[in-house]
Amino acid sequence: MSPATHGSCLCGAVHYRVTGPLRPVIACHCSQCRRATGNYMAATAAMRDDLKIEGGENLGWFASSCTARRGFCRICGSNLFWEGKDLPYVSITAGSLDSPTGLTLARHIFVADKGDYYEIADGVGQSQAFEDYDPTPPGPTPPEK
């Protein structure tokens, strides 16, 4: 079961389709994701070959570290993708997907870096950094830790 899933940026200039399975959503509270998104980054992921981008001429990439880059719409500024060097998948902001996504939140990561103005109280498992979780899609539901 892997229905094509569609998403887009706020202005609609960048569209994408995912033709394979999506990973459960991970919420990343690291300082880079917090600055890039304005709060924290909730993202699913798909294997690279399963992601088809339309309007790619409006897609900009920012090298947010020496091992990762972030894709955004050059027109409206929406955060869309995160891509790690040599990783087989692309992270996709969960908020850019059309509803219903059918996805669930599976993990909070980099909780040690989270903002001091909110609490995480949803009962979903937490990692201080990035331990105990394999982010590669398609993945089984991670064990509760």
Which one of residues 25, 27, 33, 36 is an interface residue with Zn ion (CB under 5 A)?
A: 33
To Zn ion, the closest distance from the beta carbon of 40 in angstroms equals 8
Which one of residues 22, 28, 43, 45 is an interface residue with Zn ion (CB under 5 A)?
A: 28
**CA dihedral for 49, 65, 42, 12, sign (positive or negative):** negative
Q: Is 11 in the site for Zn ion (CB under 5 A)?
A: yes
Q: How far is CA 144 from the centre of its chain?
A: 20
Span interacting with Zn ion, options 59-67, 72-80, 92-100, 119-127, rule CB under 5 A: 72-80
Site size for Zn ion (CB under 5 A): 9
Q: Is 26 in the site for Zn ion (CB under 5 A)?
A: no
To Zn ion, the closest distance from the beta carbon of 56 in angstroms equals 12
Token digits of residue 1? 């079961």
To Zn ion, the closest distance from the beta carbon of 73 in angstroms equals 3
Which one of residues 42, 53, 68, 75 is an interface residue with Zn ion (CB under 5 A)?
A: 75
Q: Is 80 in the site for Zn ion (CB under 5 A)?
A: no
Q: Are 20 and 2 in contact (CB under 8 A)?
A: yes
Q: Are 92 and 51 in contact (CB under 8 A)?
A: yes
Positions in the binding site for Zn ion (CB under 5 A): 9, 11, 13, 28, 30, 33, 73, 75-76
